[in-house]
Structure 1
Amino acid sequence: MLQTVSEWLWWERLWLPGNVSWSDLEDNEGRVYAKASQLYAVLPCALCLLVVRYLFERYVATPLADMWGVRDRVRRKAEPNHVLEKYFCSQTRLPSQADVRSLCKKTSWPERRVQVWFRRRRNQDRPALRKRFCEASWRCLFYFFAFVGGVLALYDKPWLYNLKEVWAGFPKQSLLPSQYWYYLLEMGFYLSLLLSLSTDVKRKDFKEQVIHHIATLTLLSFSWFSNYIRIGTLVMAVHDSADILLECAKVLNYAKWHQTANAMFAVFTLLFMLTRLVIFPLWLIHCTWVYPLETFAPFFGYYFFNVMLVVLQILHLYWAVLISRMFYKCVFTKLEGDDRSDEEEDDSDSSNERKHKPTHFNGSGTRGRANGH
């Protein structure tokens, strides 16, 4: 049964054009081709990146946060109450007014006290400012080196300047060492993001991020198997270029360099729109939809690869709407929060304090947390 599944999974018509077989992609005459077994190294790479991330956040990002005065807000803990804790964990974190009245009867507490308890309890589960700072610093560092590595791997390649060269001789295109390491690091990084999603800062587009990471890994894996490696490196470089500015803007915002962060976010917005809404669909997707048909007949992999690119483009449109809102607020109005983020609430029990309006003690302005993926 396993053999049958394996034969079906590696059926040549799924991955290769009709006139090409796996035997045509065996190493010979100095030509080296990508092999599925090489991707086994992605998991160890992801685990290594998680270790490097831990060391970086502890010994580099945390001292940097101290030096820049990035400090967490002192939070008041919710007082112990078994009834409210059980309701919070099993029912909802945001009880309705009717639920609050019901809980008041069960606990013999006044409404104000119950409402304050839930705000303090929700705040306890929210990531602190230093955690956000360290996470953004790590991503900024990785995207910077990934983009620089991508530029070094591509700057002298003809397909960077003429997209028709992407398909020259396809699929019999020899694998370059720079392409192997570029793929390994990028796939390892996105796998590490999937593995750390449960501990990273969780935002309202959590499901979209999961879809994005899975789609990216699926896209890169398929492009590796089918030798779509040239276009794969171009897609990665286009994505990394804007992400550097996004994470850098977050870091500056958390450090309270707000004017610089605003300027960085403005540049990021322009670059995001250029790379994700112009270059990616009009150049790269056009390259994968139109140019291959000049060389070979469509096959399953052709359709699958393009569908995955369209999924990424849909996510780009979703995030472009959020980023446009944030950019508008940044330029024309006062920033009051983030469409994506779960803001920290005022947990004061004073009747003179605001009840529900989010605060910004955690440096959580909108320009700090838009996702550029």
Structure 2
Amino acid sequence: MEIKDYLFYFLALVAFPISIYQGVKLREYVNYIKDEKPDCTHTNPQFLQLFFGTWVVIINFMIPVQFVAKSLFLKVLPQKKFPIGSSTRDTKAQIIAERVFRFFVYCGTSLALFWNLKQSNFMHKGLMGSEENPQYFTNYPCQQLPNFIDDLYVIKLSYHTFEMVYNCIAHRHRRDFSEFLLHHIITIALVGVSYCTNCLPVGTVIMLIMDGSDIFVALFKMCVDVNEIVQNVVFGIMASTWFYSRIYFFPIYVMKPFYDQAWFHEHPVAQPVARFLIVFLGILQVLNVFWFYLMITGLIRRLNVKKYKKDQIQFKVE
């Protein structure tokens, strides 16, 4: 294992029992909120249908999309780097096919989240919203929420749960499994706890930031080794949107205001839940920085390889 695997597995081992403990505490938090404000804490009557129905939709959509995409990329991948009939060509085509499926998922969820947030008063101007300083706890736990945001939250929780199960079954031998395992544990805990304790405003904003930037990551993975010009253009868009949304905007305009509003909140549920969410968001930000580091080092490595090949050709000519 690499050093980063030890770090991420350690963080996953720490995050998992904390998540379980927080899950046990949820009953206490939910009961308190229901006793305090019974009129605004109704359970989604379609929760089970949405949760398991999302799994059915994902599976029925994923299989044909990945099959078609893999068949296509098996034909267009460069033969020199990925010889026809080789396992590397098959693996590469499968990875790209998965990214095609995720591209459609991220596009759909980002559009739905953006449309819902445009109807709210907690979307920052930096995300094309209307607020300079969004307030995430106004009238907590009875914040005014846009229509369908509860349904979207359940769908997102179902999707991330499916992704964790799928990755543990199909991708446990990949080099990046450790960081994706940590990411899924953190994400499911954040989405689940925020949903049950009516912290949907900040949670929805974070979902939009993450899904919006993931669109271009999936698009870049689809272009790598297929078309160099398109690959370079998409890389620039991907790195720019990732830096703006996750490295710059997320910690400064989401995490810090959320900390200011929540860390010392007087509500007996908002404060402990918010502290848990902030700590886990901090771990999520470690992953964001790590993945941005991989983007930059990957670019540098490709430029060095390209320069080396150019020097070799020039040397042979001379």
Fold in common (TM above 0.5): yes
The one of 249, 258, 264 aligned to 1:279? 249
Confirm or deny: 8 A CA contact 1:73 1:128 kept in the other structure.
no
Residue 94 (structure 2) pairs with residue 131 (structure 1) = yes
Task: Give the aligned partner of residue 157 of structure 2.
Answer: 187
Task: Give the aligned partner of residue 13 of structure 2.
Answer: none
TM-score by length of 2: 0.75
Task: Give the aligned partner of residue 247 of structure 1.
Answer: 218
* Percent of residue pairs bearing the same amino acid type: 16
What are the ranges of 5 or more consecutive residues in structure 2 without an aligned counterpart?
1-20, 125-130, 308-318
Task: Give the aligned partner of residue 306 of structure 1.
Answer: 278
Task: Give the aligned partner of residue 262 of structure 2.
Answer: 292
Structure possessing the higher relative contact order (Cα contacts under 8 Å, 6 or more residues apart): 1
Q: Could you say which structure has the higher helix fraction? A: 2
More moved, 313-322 vs 180-189: 180-189
Q: 1:316-358: per-residue Cα shift (whole Å, max 9, x none)?
A: 122122122113334x42269xxxxxxxxxxxxxxxxxxxxxx
TM-score by length of 1: 0.64
Task: Give the aligned partner of residue 116 of structure 2.
Answer: 153
Confirm or deny: 8 A CA contact 2:219 2:234 kept in the other structure.
yes
Matches within 5 A, 1:69-148: 73-75=83-85, 128-148=91-111
Residue 289 (structure 2) pairs with residue 317 (structure 1) = yes
Confirm or deny: 8 A CA contact 1:137 1:248 kept in the other structure.
yes
Task: Give the aligned partner of residue 22 of structure 1.
Answer: 34
Work out the CA distance in 2 between the residues paired with 1:73 and 1:213.
Answer: 34
The one of 206, 216, 234 aligned to 1:264? 234
Confirm or deny: 8 A CA contact 1:25 1:33 kept in the other structure.
no
Work out the CA distance in 2 between the residues paired with 1:289 and 1:36.
Answer: 32
Confirm or deny: 8 A CA contact 1:164 1:291 kept in the other structure.
no
Task: Give the aligned partner of residue 345 of structure 1.
Answer: none
Q: 1:197-255: per-residue Cα shift (whole Å, max 9, x none)?
A: 1324953221110110111011000000110101011000001111111111111224x
Q: CA deviation at 1:61?
A: 2.0
Structure 2 residue identity aligned to 1:329: R
Work out the CA distance in 1 between the residues paired with 2:78 and 2:181.
Answer: 29
Structure 2 residue identity aligned to 1:52: F
For the pair shown, the structure with the greater C-alpha radius of gyration is: 1
Structure 1 residue identity aligned to 2:91: A
CA, structure 1 residues 62+325, in 2 after alignment: closer, same or farther (shift >3 Å)?
Answer: closer
* Number of residue equivalences: 274
Structure 1 residue identity aligned to 2:291: W
Work out the CA distance in 2 between the residues paired with 1:185 and 1:68.
Answer: 34
Task: Give the aligned partner of residue 172 of structure 1.
Answer: 142
